[in-house]
Structure 1
Amino acid sequence: MKRYGVIEEKNKREIVLLQGSGCKYKRCSFCDYYLDVGEQSYELNCQALNQVRGHYGILEVVNSGSFDEIDSKSMAKILEVAKERGVHTLIFECHYLYRSKIAKLKEYFSDFRVKLKLGLESFDYDFREGVLKKGIKIASPKEIAKDFDEANFLIGVSSQSGEMIKKDIALGLEHFERICLNVMCDNSKMKADRGVIEIFLKEIYPQIKDNPRIDILLENTDFGIGECE
């Protein structure tokens, strides 16, 4: 599996897919990424981090859960590599339930600008909690966004509508610096709704595809990580 990539469009940056201890939450109805665990996570993570060259000075770190599920040795390796390669900005992912740990993360990486990306999936409360089971029991967009700089949104799930997607994009751009739209791919827990995806591709995608504040993953490997080598 490819665990290092360079994103050359819009917010140019390097990205690494690290292996953590697995998402502690595990209750999202659409996600099986917590299966990416192993006995040699640190060695695997070092292989990915050693490829970082400091391109653009920005490094995004993703894993099978939240930053708090990356082992301490791997976090130290991130710190070491960032200092050596001239990285000035680090981007980490975090489940909303672990937002209280953000301050400690920023303290650990105090020499860098640290940004947090939230796996929000939708601002629509009933859809997010009733269908996706995200565990974010907050309805106010402002309250949800206050600890985060960026957010992921999911597209292509049954019961989702074009209007819901448009509203999520508008609210996302209002409350976050950047957003990432992830088109649903079939996995072991949920199948994508092709009808919803077609609505997105025909009615919404052409209007937003060039927006510099929006990343769009039509496939979950479009950032150059996750695919088989």
Structure 2
Amino acid sequence: MDLNRYSVIEKGMKREMLLLKGTGCRWRKCTFCDYYLDYDSSPFLFNKEILDKVSGVHGVLDIINSGSCFEYDDETLNYIRSVVEKKNINVLWLECHYMYKDRLNEMASFFPCSVKFRCGVETFNPALRSLWNKGIAESVTAEDIARYFSGVCLLCGIKGQSKRDIISDIETAEKYFEYYSVNLFCKNSRRVEIDEDLRRFVINEVPNLIKDSSKAELLINNTDLGVG
């Protein structure tokens, strides 16, 4: 895939953003997602070229892939640690599935900086999570997730969701997390339908809901953070 893999974000949470390749999403069951197609069984040389672009300009590095941070090869993980050391990175953001929650301390201890984890929870509505096959039990609450993760990604604009769901998710994320992104669903290869009314709501009204928040990022397009 010919994708942008490196960007510098100069507003909100200033940071360098990388889209690397993992060895493949181990969950791979979310009904709306086809990102898992972006992987490599041996991605180190590919990832090294992207990691070499890191300057440390803001001291914050945010690294994502098509799955979870636990799905990098060892060479890539070791090189990330080397870059963190050489470029004086103070905060490293990583993303992973909730199923890895009990291994976060293991990953955090690998790096010589503060490590913060983000989870693609998509919604705090347990029925919607099950419908989207997120692999997060209906009994799991926002408080449970916040015990492990500093940030979450929210997904908006899919048929079956409501405006109340979106508003509630934003309010919950604002209450419990240091960071959250509000992501408008973009059509892909999966058979998931966009709700055009919700799409207009996200574009026209959600900005007012989060305008005073220092925690939120609204992503209308997949490439709004400069990668993808």
TM-score by length of 2: 0.94
Contact 1:23 1:65 in 2 (8 A): yes
1:4 pairs with 2:1: no
Q: Which amino acid aligns with 1:101?
A: R
1:71-117 CA-partner distances (Å, limit 9, x unpaired): 110011101111111111100001001111111101111x2000000
Q: 1:184 — aligned with what?
A: 185
Q: How far apart, CA to CA, are the structure 1 residues paired with 2:162 and 2:106?
A: 38
The amino acid across from 1:92 in the alignment is: L
Q: Say which of 50, 56, 75 aligns to 1:73.
A: 75
- Does 2:156 match 1:155? yes
- Which amino acid is the alignment partner of residue 179 of structure 1? Y
Aligned to 1:54: 56
State which drifts further: 137-146 or 70-79: 137-146
Confirm or deny: 8 A CA contact 2:17 2:62 kept in the other structure. Answer: yes
Counterpart amino acid of residue 181 in structure 2: C
Q: Separation in 1 of the partners of 2:82 and 2:18?
A: 15
- Partners of 2:212 and 2:189 lie apart in 1 by 32
How far is the alpha carbon of 1:210 from its aligned partner? Answer: 5.2
> Partner letter of residue 160 of structure 1?
Q
How far has the Cα of 1:122 moved from its partner? 0.3
The residue number in structure 2 matching 1:22 is 24
Deviation at 1:40, TM superposition (A): 4.9
Name stretches of at least 5 consecutive residues in structure 1 with no aligned partner. Answer: none
Match of 2:215 in 1: 213
1:95 aligns with 2:97: yes
2:108 matched to which residue of 1? 106
Pairwise mapping of residues 111-122 of structure 1 onto structure 2 (< 5 A)? 111-122=112-123
Given that 2:42 and 2:73 are in contact with CA atoms closer than 8 Å, whether structure 1 keeps it comes out as no
Alpha-carbon distance in structure 1 between the residues aligned to 2:4 and 2:69: 19
Q: How does 1:35-50 map to 2 (within 5 A)?
A: 35-38=37-40, 40-50=42-52
CA 66–158 in structure 1, closer or farther in 2 if over 3 Å, else same: same
Structure 1 residues 124, 35: closer, same or farther in 2, change over 3 A? same
- What whole-Å deviation, never above 9, does each CA across 1:132-157 have from its counterpart, x for those lacking one? 11010033221122100000000111
CA deviations 1:43-82 (Å, max 9, x no partner) are: 1101110000001100001001000001110011101111
RMSD: 1.2
- In the superposition, the TM-score normalised over structure 1's length comes to 0.94
Residue type of the alignment partner of 2:136: I
Match of 1:136 in 2: 136
Of 30-39 and 5-14, more deviation after overlay is shown by: 30-39
In 2 relative to 1, CA 170–47 (structure 1 residues): closer, same or farther, beyond 3 Å?
same
Percent identity between matched residues is 35
Q: Is the 8 A contact 1:29 1:133 kept in 2?
A: yes
**Cα pair 1:5 1:15 within 8 Å, conserved:** yes
Matched, 1:82 2:84: yes
Q: Partner of 1:120: helix, strand, or coil?
A: strand
- Cα shift at 1:160: 1.0
1:173 is aligned to 174
Amino acid at match of 1:3: R
Query: Which of 197, 200, 224 is the matching residue for 2:226?
Result: 224
Aligned with residue 203 of structure 2, among 181, 201, 204? 201
CA distance in 1, matches of 2:83, 2:206: 39
In structure 2, what is the Cα distance between the partners aligned to 1:49 and 1:139?
Answer: 35
Unaligned runs of at least 5 residues, structure 2: none
